[in-house]
Structure 1
Amino acid sequence: MKKLIRNYINTFKGLSTEVWWLALITLINRAGTMVIPFLSLYLIEDLKFTLKDVGWIMTAFGLGSVAGSWLGGKLTDKIGYYKVMVRSLLSTGILFIALQFLNTFATLCVGIFLVMLVADMFRPAMFVALSAYSKPENKTRSVTLIRLAINLGFSAGPAVGGLIITTMSYSGLFWVDGITCMIATLVLFQVLNPKTAKIQDNIIVENPDSAYKDHAFLIFLVAMFLFGFVFLQYFSTMPIYYREKHLLSEFKIGLLLGANGFFIFLLEMPLIKWLENSKYTKTGLMLFGATLTALSFLVLNLTTFTGILIIGMFLMTLGEMIAFPFSNAFALQRAKKGNQGEYMALYSIAFSIAHIFGHNAGMRLVDGFGYDNTWYIMTVLGGVCAFLFLFLKSYMKNKNDKQ
């Protein structure tokens, strides 16, 4: 047992102090974003919107995310990642608190758009900061540590969120979200100030390539859009499915979603350490992750037994654990060829566009065809995503490009 624990701890060795601080800031911030998994339930149960209205509001969520990721990439290349991260976190905290006072369809569309515009400016800046604070050989594990922080926060967040809803109402979530963003800003200001932070990998590209002309990267972005489209169903249509078809309470939904973060916290770093030392390529691993995620939807139609939800969540979690760290590492590797902010913004935008179409399409598919048919459609889309990763692997091999 001691050897197992020691080996687990050893997987974290070699990461810089700045990466650990960035992970802590991410943990504080993510623990507070407990409103996001409950947003669709809040809109339906508290504000009495229809599924179609919720779909459009979630589309505004995605549009804000796209605009924020693009703007964050531009500003990161222009003024630097530190300034973008500080301003994004502080402004997001204020906007989250204000969001609870909006209750009409139009104001919520505008409000959620603005929240995501400001919040997702943080993402490309954080990725560039992560790259700067990591040694080249540690980037995948550094990404994994950040994901562990995200998922540790997400593991506690929904469970606490469900408890807050039960005892205080939905408005308490918005206050917690806003306050935690502000706390994360204070920590960032104190520990990652450019005057004190140590740069590990200072990448300067004299004649940067345009990300828009990197064909392998563009194929990768399409595959990541499809992956995001399918994956995001777990945070919009899936909580409603848990409630309507399996009659789970908000607290139980929070626990089930929180199990995702717990599994990732427990297993992802050793898994990534092992996979990094294996013969598998990043593209091959992303293909495997996409396949597992597609299967997580297929199994839901095999039985009406509620226990199948745990199996589906485990398959999705395993797919996510493999696909996301290596997709992050792939994007960071390609970003060395050009403006890092532009590359990482496009990586974030691929996921943000999935927000635009994924939530809305999922709601409409459920409304028009029911849950079973929607899960079959998601399985097929996951299969197309896996095929694109297979095509990317072949394309890069033919071009003698590093995978």
Structure 2
Amino acid sequence: MKTLFNNYVNTFKGLSTEVWWLALITLINRAGTMVIPFLSLYLTKSLNFSVSDVGWIMSAFGLGSVVGSWLGGRLTDQIGYYKVMVFSLLSTGILFIALQFLTTFTSFCIGIFLVMTVADSFRPAMFVAMSAYSKPENKTRSVTLIRLAINLGFSAGPAVGGLIITGLGYSGLFWVDGITCIAATLVLVNVLNPKSTKILDKVKTKNPKSAYGDKAFIIFLFAMMLFGIVFLQYFSTMPIYYNEAHYLSEIEIGLLLGMNGFIIFAFEMPLIKWLENTTFTKSGLMLFGAILTGLSFLILNFTSWVGVLVIGMLLMTFGEMIAFPFSNAFAMDRAKKGNQGEYMALYSISFSIAHIFGHNMGLQMTNQLGFENTWFVITGLAALCVFLLFGLRQYLNGKKKRKAILIEEEETEILWI
């Protein structure tokens, strides 16, 4: 047991102090995002919106995320990641507190759009900051540490959120979310001020390549958008499915979602450390993660046994544990060819677009087609994602072989000379 514990601890060694601080800030921030998993339930139960209305609100949520990610990337390249992160966290805290006072459909659409525009400007800035604070060989593990912080927050958030709803009602969630964002801002200002931090990997490209002209990256973005649409069903349609098809309470739903975060916290870092030492490529690992996530929906249609919900959650959890860290590392590797903010903004935008279509599409389909048919469609989208990732792997392997042939030919010419 002691050896197992020591091996687990060793997977965290070598990461910079700044990355640990960034992880703590992310943990404080994400611990309060308990509003998001319960948002669809809040809108239908507390505000009495229809499922169709909720779908359009979630599209406004996604549209704000797209605008925020794009804006965050532009501002990061122009004024730096630190200023963007401070502004985003502080403003998000204030806006989340204010969001609870919006009760009409139109006002909530506008409100959630503004919240997500400001909130998601943080993401490209945070990715660039994390890359700067990480040695090249530690970037995937740095991504994993940030994800652990996110998922530890999500693990505690939904479980505590269910208790807060039971005791204080939904308004308490908005206050907690807002206060934690403001608290994260205070930590950020005190520990990650540019005057006192150490940059470990400062990338300067003389002739930056546009991310829009990077064919492999574009294929990757489309695959991640599809993966996002599939994955996000767990935060909109799935809670309603748990409640309406299996009659789970808010607390039970919170515990099930919390299990996802706990498993990631306990197993993701050792898993990533092990996978990094194998011969698997990033594109191959992303492909495998997409397969597991797609299967998590497919199995729901083959039995009404409540235990299948746990099996589905486990498949999805291991799918995201593999897909997300290596997709993030893949994006950061490609970003070294151009403006980092632009690359990481597009990576964030791929998931923001998923927010626009994923939530609304899933909710509309469950309303009109039922849960069973919806899960078949979602599985089909996962299969399309797998197909794109397979194509990406073949494309990259082909480029690698062509490059090797060119190098061999050049060496042959030199020998003849």
Q: In which range does the TM-score fall when normalised by the shorter chain?
A: over 0.9
What is the alpha-carbon distance in structure 2 between the residues aligned to residue 302 and residue 89 of structure 1?
A: 43
Aligned equivalent of 1:352: 352
Q: Structure 2 unaligned segments of length 5 or more: list them.
A: 404-417
Aligned equivalent of 1:320: 320
Aligned equivalent of 2:54: 54
Name the aligned partner's letter for residue 156 of structure 1: A
Measured against aligned partners, the alpha-carbon deviations of 1:377-400 in whole angstroms (never above 9, x if no partner) come to: 111110110111000000111112
What is the alpha-carbon distance in structure 2 between the residues aligned to residue 170 and residue 365 of structure 1?
A: 26
1:279-294 correspondence runs (5 A): 279-294=279-294
Deviation at 1:248, TM superposition (A): 0.5
Aligned equivalent of 2:90: 90
Aligned equivalent of 1:308: 308
What is the alpha-carbon distance in structure 1 between the residues aligned to residue 240 and residue 311 of structure 2?
A: 18
1:214-229 correspondence runs (5 A): 214-229=214-229
Corresponding position: 1:107 with 2:104 = no
Name the aligned partner's letter for residue 57 of structure 1: I
Aligned equivalent of 2:178: 178
Task: Give the 4+ runs in structure 1 shifted more than 2 A.
Answer: none
Deviation at 1:103, TM superposition (A): 0.3
Deviation at 1:148, TM superposition (A): 0.2
What is the alpha-carbon distance in structure 2 between the residues aligned to residue 300 and residue 263 of structure 1?
A: 20
Aligned equivalent of 1:131: 131
What is the alpha-carbon distance in structure 1 between the residues aligned to residue 379 and residue 44 of structure 2?
A: 26
Name the aligned partner's letter for residue 60 of structure 2: A
Secondary structure at the residue paired with 2:400? Answer: coil
Measured against aligned partners, the alpha-carbon deviations of 1:251-272 in whole angstroms (never above 9, x if no partner) come to: 0000000000000000000000
Name the aligned partner's letter for residue 229 of structure 2: F
What is the alpha-carbon distance in structure 2 between the residues aligned to residue 397 and residue 306 of structure 1?
A: 43
Deviation at 1:302, TM superposition (A): 1.2
Deviation at 1:38, TM superposition (A): 0.3
What is the alpha-carbon distance in structure 2 between the residues aligned to residue 364 and residue 183 of structure 1?
A: 37
Q: Structure 1 unaligned segments of length 5 or more: list them.
A: none
Aligned equivalent of 1:70: 70
1:255-294 correspondence runs (5 A): 255-294=255-294
Aligned equivalent of 1:236: 236
TM-score, L = length of structure 1: 0.99
Deviation at 1:33, TM superposition (A): 0.7
Deviation at 1:240, TM superposition (A): 0.2
Name the aligned partner's letter for residue 400 of structure 1: K
Name the aligned partner's letter for residue 333 of structure 1: D
Deviation at 1:330, TM superposition (A): 0.1
What is the alpha-carbon distance in structure 1 between the residues aligned to residue 97 and residue 259 of structure 2?
A: 27
Name the aligned partner's letter for residue 254 of structure 1: G
Aligned equivalent of 2:156: 156
What is the alpha-carbon distance in structure 2 between the residues aligned to residue 158 and residue 367 of structure 1?
A: 25
Name the aligned partner's letter for residue 98 of structure 1: A
Name the aligned partner's letter for residue 120 of structure 2: D
Aligned equivalent of 1:5: 5
Secondary structure at the residue paired with 1:34? Answer: helix
What is the alpha-carbon distance in structure 2 between the residues aligned to residue 339 and residue 202 of structure 1?
A: 12
Deviation at 1:127, TM superposition (A): 0.1
Deviation at 1:208, TM superposition (A): 0.4
Secondary structure at the residue paired with 1:399? Answer: helix
What is the alpha-carbon distance in structure 1 between the residues aligned to residue 219 and residue 372 of structure 2?
A: 30
What is the alpha-carbon distance in structure 1 between the residues aligned to residue 190 and residue 400 of structure 2?
A: 44
Aligned equivalent of 1:39: 39
Deviation at 1:276, TM superposition (A): 0.2
Deviation at 1:47, TM superposition (A): 0.4
Aligned equivalent of 1:395: 395
Deviation at 1:209, TM superposition (A): 0.3
TM-score, L = length of structure 2: 0.96
Deviation at 1:162, TM superposition (A): 0.4
Aligned equivalent of 1:24: 24
Corresponding position: 1:343 with 2:308 = no
Deviation at 1:45, TM superposition (A): 0.4
What is the alpha-carbon distance in structure 1 between the residues aligned to residue 118 and residue 190 of structure 2?
A: 21
Name the aligned partner's letter for residue 101 of structure 1: F
What is the alpha-carbon distance in structure 2 between the residues aligned to residue 102 and residue 387 of structure 1?
A: 42
What is the alpha-carbon distance in structure 1 between the residues aligned to residue 224 and residue 269 of structure 2?
A: 22
Aligned equivalent of 2:203: 203
Identity of aligned residues (%): 75
Aligned equivalent of 1:168: 168
Deviation at 1:368, TM superposition (A): 1.0
Deviation at 1:298, TM superposition (A): 0.6
